[in-house]
Amino acid sequence: MNDILTPRERFGLLVIDERPDRCNIMPLVTSHAATVKDMKLRDYYTNGENMARAQIAALEKYGHDAISIFSEVGIIAEAMGSVFEYPENDLPIQRVPALKKKKIDELTIPNPKTTARLPVYLEAIEYAYDALGDKVPILVYIPAPFTTGMMLSEPNEFLMQTIKEPVQIERILAKSLDAAIELCYHTIDAGGLPIIVDPLASSSVISPKAYKQYALPYERRLIDYLHRYDLDVILHICGETTPIVNLLPETHADLISIDRVSMSDTIEEISGKLRLIGNYDTSQLAFSSPDVITHEVTEMVRQSKNAAKGYIAATGCEVPTQAPAENLIAFVNAAKETGWYWV
Amino acid sequence: MVLGLDVGSSYTKGVVFDGGINSKIVFKTSFKPRQAIERALHELKGYDTVVATGFGRELVVSAGKMITEISAFARGALFFESSIRTVIDIGGQDSKIIKVKDGRVDRFIMNDRCAAGTGNFIEKIAQALGLTLAEFGELAVQADRAEIVDSLCVVMAETEILSLVGEGKRIEDIVAGVCDALVRRIDGIGSQIGIEEPILFCGGGALNPGLVKSMRRIFKKVIIPEDAQFVGAIGAALSI
Amino acid sequence: MFENIAPQKIDLRQWSTQFRLLEDTDIKQFKYYGNDEWGVYLSPPATFMVYGARELKKLKFDNSLSALRLWGFAFNESERLFRARQSGKHIVAAMGDLGTVPVITMSFPECVPFYPDCTWWTPFFNESTVLLDKASELGTPEGSCFVRSTLAAFHKMAYFPKPDILFASTGASCDDYSCIMQMVEDMGYELNWLEIPYRRHRKDYHVEERYTKTAHGFEYPERFETYLVDEYKRVWHKMKQLTGTDDTERLKQSINKNNRLRRLTHEIRELTHNANIAPYPGLEMMVIEFGNLYGYADIDEWLNILSMVKETILGRIEKGLGVLRPDAIPLAWVTPTADPLLLNIVEDLGGRVVATEYVINQALVEIDEEIDPFVALARSFMDASMIGSTEERIRNITTGVDSGKVAGVIISNMLGCSHCAMETRLIEEKLKRVPVLAIDVPGPLGITEQLRTRIAAFLEMLR
């Protein structure tokens, strides 16, 4: 079937509980887009125009439904003082966390227009928005306070502190929240739709109890801030989410993007409350073949497309940079074929 | 002293004015209006304030005042000759026909959509005939008669002219025909507001002797000021 | 809220800053259909920009809370219609009629009227050719105007839900739109056509007929009234079939409510146009005038918003404050511009709109509540802008010109609109005693520097 709607129109219908022509298809094509333009990764994540141009090229090549502005989850932490290295062909690597050099009180809320690589995001949003903001949603991945908090600290120390010094943790999270709000504010003014990513809050990293105590309340506060704008908020948690799936409605997110969980169980648990996004295994995109991918994606979409509040066909995590183009094309085509709603 | 700066799409014109022209400058804008403005502001001396006009007027950050080309041309034209009723400016990318009454703009019309009513028409045809603009103007005045060029569209006119060349018509008569076609086009556009004479003809087009001849052929009372290209800049300076 | 901030026009970013001052509770109090879950509509322009309304990045808006409500409500209409449908209401498309069919349909319980033809603004607000391109693909005539985006919207069904019933006017109506509606019918929609008579007066004919006059003093043959009553009764009958109800008392109530809306709009218009300093911007005023046709699919909430707008305006007039400079040049605007940015540009360059002829002046006329409601509706519609002569259409403008209230007239001439192409020159001709600027409104993103210069020069000429 040929598409009837633009990605913008399709997403617009989904978020008001209407069935579009077919399900939205939003694999997390992030830095993978650099490969479409044969761009060095460093050139991608340090230059907003490059990032946007690569995203647009990827969109044209694969035919999915969203632009994804993202480099890595340390972006806010870096702007607050963490030191990162920029390898030529790899994502930024954290060398020194901000709290190694600073006290919590010394952490300031960065101005996204001027600090570190935050302007790269804003520039990328504006470029993409000017180019095709009328047709395609521009999703901007904002690290949630818990993830930023951990990026500001030594991870093990941070996790220990959640048990030993909860007051300190709350102070770090409060600052991280303010920084995330500031970035969201500027993201919106540039034309981007913030989506919240909290990979370090997954059950692969922390216990459900710690999630409930430290991650969820700050996800909720950030999402509530975005709800002031009447925006529909996607929360993405990659990694293991089975133990916390039933807590996700408490975040107030409108759409939940999940990774390694059973889709059918998730549908049973929360699909009446939230729109679901997910969750194809990204390692398959890197290492499997178009035939296998077509088969598996068809099955995933068939099983999920009728989730009560709607469904977006996506990958559970970022599309690997080395994923062959034909695999992504197979993903998108299979989802288009199976995800058709209109008669 | 006031610097009147007319940042046109084809040429930038600047005049330092104190009741008369103190100094002046003109050069190609070359699609770089910011640089052109810098150059004019730098090369002209002795002014206290700047009034900007022309398509690039809003880029003149140091301007004390900004006015549109319409007001500027009307004012400048009236400075040269107070009895005029219509100002016709044929510029590189657009043309303006402005009717003046009691010392101010009464009605105006601009042709900015189609090259046929602008100096661009002449440039394109000259290019097609392998002539410089200067050669084109000189040839046009040597015409015995003007060939009829009917097409109002540059692209169509090019074909028509090449066929006239093929028919062995004199090049002088062909280019005179091209000038007539442009002035007839202006006359047609102007009929919407009613062209009244005397007419002051200015802008880059007034530097082309062929066009001047055509203007005089089609209209009766046509005044061409000495500094025809600077009418807008002078008008800007006068508006302070 | 915001009462202490000096009135001015602000851009999207300034609105985002100002929006931060609102408490969550402030935001949540403004709902439609009384719904808590999805009924909130008080969002800053940035929200709608994020969802694709790109021109909002360029536009300037009034900085009052009433204007924020007004914009939020107008931009929320698409969602509101889908939500109306989801909550079991009937969606009624009233096309080309401009003012009367909604009054009838609002008499039926749980019925929400709207105008699909208003989609003509969408390509401009979105700075997008998506709908126009699709309309061409679907075979709209190349020369038709921006209203052709309605055809694409019917194809896509992403801008409004599939209506339960469609009414469309033809006859003395916009011909481009009428042509588009025929194509919508060919898509398989069942259209209920209403034939609108041309309002001719006795000078034109010699037959023996009785003539009467509208509230604006336009003459017309009395039998047109009877004819229109029959047309409106057909609408009533169709609505009865759809809803299973038939209560003409409710029609009287609907007329009463719509009269409240018309009076309020009229008052706001008079206050704004006659104040020493413009208390409200021209663009917001255009949104208000069009809301008069159907209350943006929730007349009750729209009435609340207008009451707030009126308060803002009264407050500003009392303090001698406004949003434009005191010496702004008073202009009349003829034909609504498809590109809202033009209204902004004219104001930025020193103009001020003090009289309008947006082809919907009939919706400002109160409907007689003392006589038979159908006759009253017919009589009020006979005042319509589009169904009479050019001279009648611009009578209020000529009055403004003659009284010295209007210094110049701007006519927006819509590219592709055959009606405009014919009438703009006629209007210019009839308004010879005042300077007139006819603007060819180009397609989305089509406003050029030359067009700005032309507007600026026109205002310089008037100054």
Residue A134: both structure tokens together: 């009328």
Three-state helix/strand/coil letters over chain C: CCCCCCCCEEEHHHHHHHHCCCCHHHHHCCECCCCCCCCECCCCHHHHHHCCCHHHHCCEEECCHHHHHHHHHHHCHHHHHHHHHHCCCEEEEEECCCCCHHHHHCCCCCEEEECHHHHHHHHHHCCCCHHHHHHHHCCCCCCCCHHHHHHHHHHHCCCCCCCCEEEEEEECCCHHHHHHHHHHHHCCCCEEEEEECCCCCHHHCCCCCCEEECCCCCEEECHHHHHHHHHHHHHHHHHHHHHCCCCHHHHHHHHHHHHHHHHHHHHHHHHHHHCCCCCCCHHHHHHHHHHCCCHHHCHHHHHHHHHHHHHHHHHHHHHCCCCCCCCCEEEEEECCCCCCHHHHHHHHCCEEEEEEECCCHHHHCCCCCCCCHHHHHHHHHCCCHHHCCHHHHCHHHHHHHHCCCCCEEEEEEECCCHHHHHHHHHHHHHCCCCCEEEEEECCCCCCCHHHHHHHHHHHHHHC
Please provide the average confidence, as pLDDT, over all residues in chain A.
96
Geometric angle at alpha carbon A99, from A94 and A103, rounded to 5°: 160
Q: Does residue C419 surpass a pLDDT of 80?
A: no
Distance from CA of C440 to the nearest CA of B (A): 11
Residue C204 confidence (pLDDT): 63
Residue B112 confidence (pLDDT): 65
Chains B and A touch (3+ CB pairs under 8 A): no
Contacts of A106 (CB under 8 A, 6+ apart): none
Query: Which other chains touch chain A, taking contact as 3+ CB pairs less than 8 Å apart?
Result: C
- Is-contact A293 A331, C-beta < 8 A? yes
Question: Are B68 and C453 inside 8 Å of each other by CB?
Answer: yes
Residue in C with minimal Cα distance to B94:
C450
Closest-CA residue to B71 (of B95, B100, B93) = B100
| Range with lowest mean pLDDT among A190-204, C64-78, C259-273, C437-451 | C437-451
Contacts of C456 in chain B (CB under 8 A): 68
**Alpha carbon of B7 to those of B23, B118, B210, B213: distances in Å?**
17, 17, 25, 27
- CATH class belonging to B82-224: alpha beta
Residue B123 confidence (pLDDT): 85
Q: Quote ipTM for the complex.
A: 0.95
* Band of pLDDT at residue C206, cut at 50, 70 and 90: low
Contacts of A9 in chain C (CB under 8 A): 130, 156, 158-159
Give φ, ψ of C34 to 5 degrees: 60, 20
Choose between B30 and C377: higher pLDDT. C377
Q: Does residue B10 surpass a pLDDT of 90?
A: no
Determine whether C129 is exposed, middle or buried from the number of CB atoms within 10 Å of its CB (0-12, 13-18, 19+): middle
**Alpha carbon of C199 to those of A322, C44, C212, C224, C379: distances in Å?**
71, 43, 11, 8, 12
The predicted model gives C434-463 an average pLDDT of 92
Question: Are B69 and C453 inside 8 Å of each other by CB?
Answer: yes
Residue B159 confidence (pLDDT): 84
pLDDT digits (tens, 9 = 90+) for B76-110: 999 999 999 999 998 877 889 999 999 999 999 98
First to last CA, chain B: 10
Determine whether C60 is exposed, middle or buried from the number of CB atoms within 10 Å of its CB (0-12, 13-18, 19+): buried
Distance in angstroms (rounded) separating the CA atoms of residues B112 and C448? 10
- Is-contact C410 C451, C-beta < 8 A? no
pLDDT digits (tens, 9 = 90+) for A123-168: 999 999 999 999 999 999 999 999 999 999 999 999 999 889 999 9
Q: Does residue A210 surpass a pLDDT of 80?
A: yes
pLDDT digits (tens, 9 = 90+) for B201-231: 998 889 999 999 999 999 999 999 989 999 9
**Other beta carbons within 10 Å of A2:** 5
Determine whether C321 is exposed, middle or buried from the number of CB atoms within 10 Å of its CB (0-12, 13-18, 19+): middle
Choose between B97 and C201: higher pLDDT. B97
Return the residue matching tokens 């009513």: B117
Contacts of B107 in chain C (CB under 8 A): 435
Question: Are C50 and A191 inside 8 Å of each other by CB?
Answer: yes
Residue C350: both structure tokens together: 């020193």
Counted across chains B and C, CB pairs separated by less than 8 A come out at: 33
Distance in angstroms (rounded) separating the CA atoms of residues B161 and B149? 7
> Is the fold of B1-81+227-240 the same as that of B82-224?
yes
Contacts of A234 in chain C (CB under 8 A): none
- Is-contact C165 C238, C-beta < 8 A? yes
**Alpha carbon of A138 to those of A6, A33, A226, A241, C86: distances in Å?**
13, 14, 15, 26, 28
Indicate the domain borders of chain B: 1-81+227-240, 82-224
Distance in angstroms (rounded) separating the CA atoms of residues C214 and C208? 20
Contacts of A224 in chain C (CB under 8 A): 24
Question: Are A191 and C83 inside 8 Å of each other by CB?
Answer: no
Q: Which helix (H) or strand (E) holds A275?
A: strand A275-280
Geometric angle at alpha carbon C262, from C260 and C267, rounded to 5°: 95
Residue C8: both structure tokens together: 């001015």
Distance in angstroms (rounded) separating the CA atoms of residues A24 and A47? 28
The CATH code belonging to domain B1-81+227-240 is 3.30.420.40
* Band of pLDDT at residue C448, cut at 50, 70 and 90: confident
Return the residue matching tokens 């004919």: C205
Q: Does residue C291 surpass a pLDDT of 70?
A: yes
Contacts of B110 in chain C (CB under 8 A): 450, 453-454
Give φ, ψ of C154 to 5 degrees: -65, -35
Give φ, ψ of C125 to 5 degrees: -60, -35
Contacts of A235 (CB under 8 A, 6+ apart): A144, A195, A196, A197, A198, A219, A223, A248, A251, A253, A255, A256, A257
Contacts of B95 in chain C (CB under 8 A): none
**Coil, strand, or helix at residue A96?**
strand
**Other beta carbons within 10 Å of C126:** 24
Indicate the domain borders of chain C: 87-247
**Chain B residues within 8 angstroms (CB to CB) of chain C:** 55, 67-71, 94, 104-108, 110, 112
Q: Does residue B44 surpass a pLDDT of 70?
A: yes
Distance from CA of B55 to the nearest CA of C (A): 7
Residue C232 confidence (pLDDT): 97
| Range with lowest mean pLDDT among A162-176, B136-150, C101-115 | B136-150
Distance in angstroms (rounded) separating the CA atoms of residues C12 and A181? 18
Q: What is the DSSP letter of A213?
A: I
pLDDT digits (tens, 9 = 90+) for C386-410: 888 888 888 878 888 888 899 999 9
Q: Which amino acid is at A226?
A: L
Domains of chain A with bracketed CATH: 7-15+22-338 (3.20.20.210)
Give φ, ψ of A41 to 5 degrees: -60, -35
Distance in angstroms (rounded) separating the CA atoms of residues B140 and C265? 63
Give φ, ψ of B68 to 5 degrees: -75, 165
Closest Cβ–Cβ partner in B68, B110, B112 for C460 = B68
Contacts of A329 (CB under 8 A, 6+ apart): A61, A62, A63, A290
Instruction: Measure CA C166 to chain center.
Output: 19
The predicted model gives A5-29 an average pLDDT of 97
Residue A269 confidence (pLDDT): 87
- In CATH, what is the architecture of C87-247? 3-Layer(aba) Sandwich (3.40)
Residue C403 confidence (pLDDT): 86
Question: Are A191 and C24 inside 8 Å of each other by CB?
Answer: no
Tell me, yes or no, if A188 comes closer than 8 A to chain C by beta carbon: yes
pLDDT digits (tens, 9 = 90+) for A276-323: 998 999 999 999 999 999 999 999 999 999 999 999 999 999 999 999
Question: Are C453 and B105 inside 8 Å of each other by CB?
Answer: no
The predicted model gives C134-143 an average pLDDT of 89
Question: Are B105 and C454 inside 8 Å of each other by CB?
Answer: no
The predicted model gives A62-84 an average pLDDT of 97
pLDDT digits (tens, 9 = 90+) for C321-339: 999 999 999 999 999 999 9
Residue C139 confidence (pLDDT): 93
The predicted model gives C380-388 an average pLDDT of 87
- Is-contact C431 C409, C-beta < 8 A? yes
Q: Does residue B155 surpass a pLDDT of 90?
A: no
Choose between C83 and C202: higher pLDDT. C83
The predicted model gives A320-335 an average pLDDT of 97
* Band of pLDDT at residue C205, cut at 50, 70 and 90: low
Top mean-pLDDT range of C18-32, C172-186, C380-394: C18-32
Q: Does residue A64 surpass a pLDDT of 80?
A: yes
Residue in B with minimal Cα distance to C453:
B68
Instruction: Measure CA C78 to chain center.
Output: 16
Closest-CA residue to B28 (of B45, B11, B44, B43) = B11
Contacts of C155 in chain A (CB under 8 A): 4
